[in-house]
Chain A
Amino acid sequence: MAFAQNLVRCSIKAAVSKNHFSLAKTASNFGAYQLSTQFNSLQPLRTFSIGSQLHQDVNVTFLRANGQKIQAKGKVGDTLLDVVVNNHIDLDGFGACEGTLTCSTCHLIFKVQDFEKLPDKASDEELDMLDLAYELTDTSRLGCQITLTKDMDGLVVSVPATINDARSA
């Protein structure tokens, strides 16, 4: 499982160049099932992680519209989309374009104080995609554009209801 996660994370890093043939994986409902059944025995291969200073854990909580809280761990340098993918968080359709700024399916809503502390403001291109999102708020961002820093440990973000609402509750 851990090995698989690292693989996914590495491939996302490789795709940062917005390569069209990105190996990055979207959040998948099947991925979790397949990986947990196939890769459990590979647990000891955790040491395949690369780098060290970047790999500080950052805890993130995703709050769904139905009240469900999903706790996840990311690393400094991961995007919030990476966190959803690497933790196999079951959000249908999340990250459809795989972080290439051509959809708004990784729309997340921040608390005002967290939003104001985000290191980078949204680019025009990010705002363009957010403008197509459902439930757009003044503190909305795309998860693929938010890179975790160690200051973000304990972050809580809301997942808009219309994309991943109570339908699977």
Chain B
Amino acid sequence: MFLPKKVLLSTITKQCCLHTNKKEFSAGVAVNSPTKRICIVGAGPAGFYAAQYILKTLSDCVVDVIEKLPVPFGLVRFGVAPDHPEVKNVINTFNKTAEHKNFNFFGNVTLGKDISLQELRERYHAVLLTYGADQDRELNIPNENQPNVLSARKFVAWYNGLPGEQHLNPNLSGRSVAILGQGNVAVDAARMLLSSVDALRKTDTTEYALEALSRSKVEQVYLVGRRGPLQAAFTIKELREMLKLPNVQTIWKPDDFTDVPAHLPNLPRPRKRLTELMLKSLSEQSSSSSSNRAQRRFLPIFLRAPKAIGENEIKLTVTQLQNDTAIPTDKIDHLPAELILRSIGYKSTCVDGGICFDDRGGRVFNENGRVLKDATSKSVDKGLYVAGWLGTGPTGVILTTMNGAFGVAKTLCDDIISNEVDTSSTKAGSEAKQYGRVVTWSHWQRINQAEIKAGERLGKPREKIVDVDEMLKVAGL
């Protein structure tokens, strides 16, 4: 409960903010009230959902979000497939959060470069790290660094216009692509390779990617998994979409499914429905294989582990399942592949020496979102939090991230309300001018409008600007 005096004070502060250009000046103004200042590092879904919760829960607080790129929304902009625009509707909710008078966006500000974690912690009562996972796990097999082996993460970033990946130039001149991994990122990459480029022209796929895809000679895409159909990592929505993709035939290996039907009755509903859909597709393929002359083929391959990269092929170890684990056998298999995409997971990087980082796990050591001081003592570093893939590892859909971010935001608010985290001292927060070329929310609006306008000319929702300098120029910085 708060005293009426305090409520009054916070109301006055809010009104003051309304009458100033809040994006430029609201933070850092010396006000004699203990405004609770929270900094969120990373403007992706975890950051925005946490900001939404904190702004709603804490009275008299300011949430500043710093973001490495000049543009917000993280993987909603750079990860979600361009042909899934509905998923990006979450941006409407993020926009509402951003329009809150006590929210400030500081784009083009990099933790560990433009400001240190220590400095942030001096300027804020609490810091929440949500900068995601921007590296990919490696296979550690021979010849993995050949130019024809790319990470699916980079391929996705390329077609989605992530600054720095626009010159990836994936080799699409061959007939076959092998994607190693079977998660939804792998399926997204496969769908982008197999879709008609005319369908993609209506999406916000970058123009250079459309141009490259229009010259693509790719006819078949393998989706290789170490385990069996009962452990498939893709979700049913992504599979159903693939099965409905025009001019693409999905071809399963019947041998992979020998033992599968017997397990059906004991599966939980989601796994059961996914397995039934695979079996249904398998049964249709045997009856229609001669009549269906699709131009392109989608080929899921189970029970194969990557062994080595060869010339225009990938060498695989045949595996066997033991208690849901893939055990290598001494049998070897080969698949033709002029391009190989590695899609076995993401990991985070440690951007500041002050973060207690799990190098092996590729995430920040934490307990329910409270960052630990060190890995062994389990003692909490008060006032420092982590949410999203940086804390949990790269799993789940936006729903998962949303629930996780709400959960950590609640923990943060609880700690502040219970005085576990001290907010009695005045904190400076951030001012745009301290960082140099900072993209505020109104600057981002200029970039956004320019992108939408450029998209209109091309008949697509937007044409993303991919060069950071160009973004800053358009923003007027």
Contacts and interface: CB of A to CB of B under 8 A. Distances in A.
Contacts of B407: 167
A28 B86 contact: no
B96 A102 contact: no
Nearest to A102: B86
Interface stretch (B224-232, B394-402, B466-474): B394-402
A29 B87 CA distance: 20
A106 to B, nearest CB: 11
Interface stretch (B123-131, B192-200, B235-243): B235-243
Interface residues of A, number: 35
Nearest to B97: A30
Contacts of A163: 403
Interface in A16-43: 18, 20-22, 25-26, 28-31
Contacts of A155: none
Contact of B270 (A22, A92, A93, A136): A136
B351 interface: no
B85 A125 contact: no
Contact of B86 (A31, A100, A104, A168): A100
Given A93-B402, A127-B273, A28 B93 contact: yes
Interface residues of B, number: 35
Given A20-B85, A129-B237, A92 B399 contact: no
A30 B270 contact: no
B91 to A, nearest CB: 10
B49 interface: yes
A132 interface: yes
B410 A167 contact: yes
B270 A131 contact: yes
A98 B93 CA distance: 10
A18 B86 contact: yes
B100 interface: yes
A117 to B, nearest CB: 22
Contacts of A22: 89
Interface string B91-114: 011001101100000000000000
A128 interface: yes
A28 B270 CA distance: 30
Contacts of B457: none
Contacts of A60: none
A136 B52 CA distance: 26
A96 B402 contact: yes
B56 A102 contact: no
A64 to B, nearest CB: 14
B398 A128 contact: no
A28 B96 contact: yes
Contact of B89 (A29, A96, A162): A96
22 contacts: A20-B86, A21-B461, A22-B89, A26-B92, A29-B56, A30-B56, A92-B53, A93-B399, A93-B402, A93-B406, A96-B89, A100-B86, A100-B89, A102-B86, A103-B399, A125-B237, A128-B240, A128-B273, A131-B235, A131-B270, A134-B403, A167-B410
Interface of A: 18, 20-22, 25-26, 28-31, 92-93, 96-98, 100-105, 124-125, 127-129, 131-134, 136, 162-163, 167-168
Given A25-B92, A31-B96, A105-B399, 4 more contacts: A93-B93, A97-B86, A102-B237, A125-B237
Interface of B: 49, 52-53, 55-57, 84-87, 89-90, 92-93, 96-97, 99-100, 235-237, 240, 269-270, 273-274, 397-399, 402-403, 406-407, 410, 461
